[in-house]
Chains A and B, each alone.
Chain A
Amino acid sequence: MSIEVNGRKVDWVENETVSQLLKRMRYIFPLVVVKIDDKVVPKKDFSNVIVPDNSKVAVIHMISGG
């Protein structure tokens, strides 16, 4: 039972939300885009959406500058 986060294999935790996963991964930067199995998770849903087993999670960190 595992998931893939940014290409890294990590344990799957039952009932873990996106917010909790970000915290567990120590992704502390606040400005991220998250996709689970290629579907965007809106920021407002980070604390409701549960990360499913075997899923692929992409966390993209947006840095200011342009």
Chain B
Amino acid sequence: MNRQKLDKIKKKLRRSSVGIAGVGGLGSNAAIALARAGVGRLVLVDFDKVEEKNLDRQYYFLDQVGKIKIEALKDSIRRINPEVIVETYNLKLVKGSMEKPFKDVDVVIEALDNAKTKAEFIEEILLKLPDKPVVAASGTAGYGHCDRIVTRRCGKLYLCYDEHAPSSEDDMLIAPRVGLMGNWEANLAIEIILGEDK
């Protein structure tokens, strides 16, 4: 690969920042991918603690059970790439102030689990931070059907989307598909930061 292109990309990523709303299945996998890719600053927002049942798809380990997710994830990122600056907000995103932690990031990733909160979050960010690119995911439950997943772009909203997927209220969340979509979101964030790879 062209050395100059590689250096330019690394530098651009190092100077960039991504905010992640929710660090469950989607968010923890996206955060790890972005840290490995060398994104300079990550803003992680969540209120949950790691539970044993999360380990079937979320990027945590048995010895992290009981820890606050954002702290556990920060620790894992440090073990992969200590140069990444990780800012953490241990809070539940509530309607009316959802945009606050994300004001100064380049890209926002929606990685929440509940459909209602997802819709509220996307609406609030698009309305309050209209210039901010938002990456969201809808349709993570189940397994298989990789080729049903598409990127749908709608202005500043980039959606990793499978409109035929079941809801997680009716179906299982299984590691490969959740990881796929979390990484898909991270990949979209990188594309937004760097521009299309031509």
List, in ascending order, chain B residues with CB within 8 A of A31's CB.
Answer: 115-116, 118-119
Q: Are A58 and B154 in contact (CB under 8 A)?
A: yes
- Top 9 closest A-B pairs, CB basis? A65-B168, A66-B113, A65-B140, A65-B141, A31-B115, A38-B155, A64-B115, A62-B115, A62-B118
Complex alpha-carbon distance, A31 and B26, angstroms: 19
Query: What residues of chain B have their CB less than 8 Å away from a CB belonging to chain A?
Result: 22, 24-27, 111-116, 118-120, 122-123, 126-127, 136-141, 152, 154-155, 157, 159, 161-163, 165-169, 173, 178
The smallest beta-carbon distance between B107 and chain A, in angstroms, is 17
Contact for A66 among B111, B119, B155, B169, CB less than 8 A: B111
Answer yes or no: A43 CB below 8 A from chain B CBs.
yes
8 more contacts with CB within 8 A, not counting A62-B116, A64-B114, are: A33-B119, A38-B154, A65-B25, A65-B113, A66-B27, A66-B113, A66-B114, A66-B137
Complex alpha-carbon distance, A64 and B142, angstroms: 11
Contact for A63 among B24, B115, B127, B157, CB less than 8 A: B115
Q: Which residue of A lies closest to B163 (CB)?
A: A61
Complex alpha-carbon distance, A38 and B122, angstroms: 14
Contact for A64 among B27, B141, B159, B163, CB less than 8 A: B141
List, in ascending order, chain A residues with CB within 8 A of B119's CB.
Answer: 31-33, 43, 62
Q: Are A33 and B123 in contact (CB under 8 A)?
A: yes
List, in ascending order, chain B residues with CB within 8 A of A35's CB.
Answer: 126, 154-155, 157
Q: Are B141 and A63 in contact (CB under 8 A)?
A: yes
List, in ascending order, chain A residues with CB within 8 A of B120's CB.
Answer: 43
A/B interface sample: 13 pairs, CB < 8 A: A31-B118, A32-B119, A60-B157, A60-B159, A61-B138, A62-B116, A63-B162, A63-B163, A64-B115, A64-B169, A65-B165, A65-B178, A66-B113
Complex alpha-carbon distance, A4 and B178, angstroms: 32
List, in ascending order, chain A residues with CB within 8 A of B138's CB.
Answer: 60-63
If A35-B155, A58-B154, A60-B154 touch, whether A66 touches B22 (CB-CB below 8 Å) is yes
